[in-house]
Structure 1
Amino acid sequence: MAEPTFPSLLAEETRDSITEYLSTTFALADDQARSAFDEFLRNPETGIFRGPYLKLRTPYQQVASSWTSPLDWLPKGFIPFQHQAQSFDRLSTRGRAAEPTIVTTGTGSGKTESFLIPLLDHAMRSVAKGEKGIKAIILYPMNALVTDQARRLANYLHDDPKLSNVTAGVYIGGTGRQKVPTRNQLVDNRDVLRQNPPDILLTNYKMLDLLLLRKDDSPLWENASTTLQYLVLDEFHTYDGAQGTDVAMLIRRLARIFHAGRVLA
């Protein structure tokens, strides 16, 4: 039977290994410099290693039991945090237009659900009315984020019968291989997306720029001037400098093309 490994002992062993590695790597010939370097590595108060620290994160506040959802759809058993509920209030299109919204909360606070659930709720109602065309665009700064979020969205669409008629697609370059959605994958074949524009489109800002210019992609935007209600910029804080300017101009062009006065959410 293996002996248990205690975190405190493991931390000490790791610290000793790193200290030995640094001492060997920076083998100083001068005694005074070597002594100062050793002090920097090993002193428990002023050295490089501190702690260990215990970090406690207070839980996010959930809605009160009396809360009434402004949406017609929520994931089964889902109880939102207070900031998610506030986002739902602003982004709901039940009987009114959505309001421009910025969600800024900590890691693990459910920022994705803050906008994704209202988008799915809107798409469900819109599809039930027979409206065809892209209803929401979600922009990501990196394709890796698109792939990760596409899996989550595919799970929602596959697992809930209420969303069985809602479609979503990924357009991030290439011809795409997925022609039929699965539980973990969205359609990414460009020909399929052009023939049947999805209700929710996941892409990046560079690709969106191309989609608005290329003639072959024009079928993708059929009816979008009347159906497009949401433009979501995930990881909004990454758009700074010249990139931020490019994205700002892209948003203005998108609004002008579809004659949308308030497409941001």
Structure 2
Amino acid sequence: MIDRLDPLEAAKEIEGSYKRYLKTLLAPRDEKLATSFDAEVDSSDLLTKGPILEMTPPYATGATCRELIAEGVLHPGFAALDSAALPLDQPLYIHQEKAIRKFVAGRNLVVSTGTGSGKTESFLIPIINHLIAEHAEGRLGPGVRALLLYPMNALANDQLKRLRALLGAVPEITFGRYTGETAEDLASAEAKFLQTNPGATRLPNELLSRQEMRSAPPHLLLTNYAMLEYLLIRPADLDLFDGPNAGTWRFIVMDEAHVYDGAQGTEVALLMRRLKQRVAPESALQCIATSASLTGSVRNDPRGEAMQFAANLFDAPFEYRDDDSARQDLVEPVRKSHLTASQWRLSDDDLLAFRRGALDSADLTPNGADVAAALSTEQSIVALKEALSSGPVQVRELRELLWPDDPQSTEKLDALVELGSSTLDDSGHPVLSARYHYFVRATEGAFVSFNEDGPRIFLG
């Protein structure tokens, strides 16, 4: 192919460059040891791993927000949020829809889906819906309703941008970020806003300064756990938790919850207990944790472990019953399934011609068929998807599976992946959504073993 990175060739170049670097860096002065060292570096399979191919099929879609409004799951006033930031007629992912339904039903939740899967919408949509319903009933006064807790300020700042795009149409819902970066007074905060957001107009419902948030606490409060610790003990911030605007807390959202393990996890868990005792001693706050990897860190009982982790972190009930979908507080992604293979299979010559740039994807399909539709059921692509359905696989294993004992199997696999990933279906998703991984391991040095057969070098 032309003008693109060849991932398999790139992997070879990376491995070769790294091994040449090690030979130069750690070369022994003794000639025999140097020869032995070079041979060990060349033959070692500990230094690199891969390339590995992973399939990332698109998430399956479900109902739209407009359909949830019509069904009564969302408040009719939620229709005001229809915009480019949240198109009400765009189907939600099934895991988003499931999370919204469970959240509205009052369940504590763990949303464990991948990066870019829309975890934010899974909790923002129902929280904003709750605030819209409060406003419609005339009960939406100042006071925190939801705490959005982030492990890093950068994540809180990203969420701030998302809220600005979403809440412009509902000025009655206020939000604010209270971190170490938040200015004390309004004048300083506005100057900082203009400096970091040139050309932007401040929304009237975004509280920029600490003074604003103390006098009229925002409905959505964004912070990190270290700042929350300070807020709970500083007299100046008492009005966020006590006073005339207290008693309004309803939700705690903890983003990237998997980072709170070990000593830090214990600290945050105790912080949650102090917070709940302070703001809702007689009632239960609804708790939501999001993570891209929470269920992937354990092997035996990932769902049970995730529920126990969340229960310990929030001091709140979480459960997962296999036989009762209403009592499943873990929301996991649902991927689109691949289609059954047709009778059509790409010829080896066509694959290699595509790789050289001699043929376009449109030239490969039989009888002028739609390219994406034809490739979705092409035998080689379906076989590749089936091989990857249970997880990432080494490229060398895939080559042997699809083209056993074929000296050109590397080129054919590269062409097949490129063809599938560059061809989009009607929904804008690749026919084959996949990515390569390649790992390089740092060595701790080289070690010599002296024995009767002579010295032997080992890599650390």
Pick from 258, 261, 265 the counterpart of residue 283 of structure 2: 261
Give per-residue Cα distances to partners, 1:73-126, cap 9 Å, x unaligned.
37214422222112111212xxx6x22111122222222221122112212222
Q: Where in structure 1 are there 5+ consecutive unaligned residues?
A: none
Q: Deviations over 1:8-43 (max 9, x none)?
A: 544444433333222211222345554454345444
Q: What is the match of residue 142 of structure 1?
A: 152
Alpha-carbon contact 1:187-1:193 (below 8 Å) kept: yes
Instruction: State the distance in 2 between where 1:260 and 1:46 align.
Output: 59
Q: Aligned in 2, Cα 1:144/1:10: closer, same or farther, shift over 3 Å?
A: same
**TM-score computed with the length of structure 1 as normaliser:** 0.81
Contact 2:240 2:246 in 1 (8 A): no
Aligned: 1:156 with 2:177 = no
RMSD: 3.0
Identity of aligned residues (%): 36
User: Which range moves more in the overlay, 149-158 or 198-207?
Assistant: 149-158
Q: In structure 2, what residue type is equivalent to 1:91?
A: F
Distance 2:49 2:229 in 1: 48
Deviation at 1:252, TM superposition (A): 1.7
| Structure ranking higher in strand proportion | 2
Q: 1:171 offset after TM fit, Å? A: 0.5
- How many pairs align? 254
- Determine which structure has more spread, i.e. the larger CA radius of gyration: 2
2 CA distance for matches of 1:6 and 1:251?
48
- One-letter amino acid of the structure 2 residue matched with residue 100 of structure 1: N
Matches of 2:102 and 2:282 in 1, distance apart?
18
Q: 1:71 to 1:5 in 2, by over 3 A?
A: closer
SS of alignment partner, residue 252 of structure 2: strand
What are the residue-to-residue correspondences of 1:198-209 with 2, within 5 Å?
198-209=218-229
1-side partners of 2:202 and 2:285: how far apart?
A: 29
Amino acid at match of 2:263: A
Structure 2, unaligned stretches of length 5 or more? Answer: 194-200, 288-460
Separation of aligned partners in 1, 2:283 and 2:34: 66
1:231 equivalent in structure 2: 252
Per-residue displacement from partner, 1:141-179 (whole Å, max 9, x unpaired)?
222221222222222123xx2x23211100012551434
Q: CA deviation at 1:135?
A: 0.7
**Structure 1 contact 157–164 (Cα < 8 Å) conserved:** yes
Q: 1:5 to 1:240 in 2, by over 3 A?
A: closer
Aligned residue number for residue 71 of structure 1: 74
Q: Quick one: higher RCO (CA 8 Å, sep 6+), 1 or 2?
A: 2
Aligned residue for 1:138, secondary structure, equals: strand
Instruction: Answer yes or no: is the 8 Å Cα contact 1:178–1:186 preserved in 2.
Output: no
Q: Residue 174 of structure 2: which of 167, 184, 187 is its match?
A: 167
1:246 aligned to 258, 267, 277, which one?
267
What's the TM-score, normalizing by structure 2? 0.49
The 3 A distance-change label for structure 1 pair 38 and 151 is farther
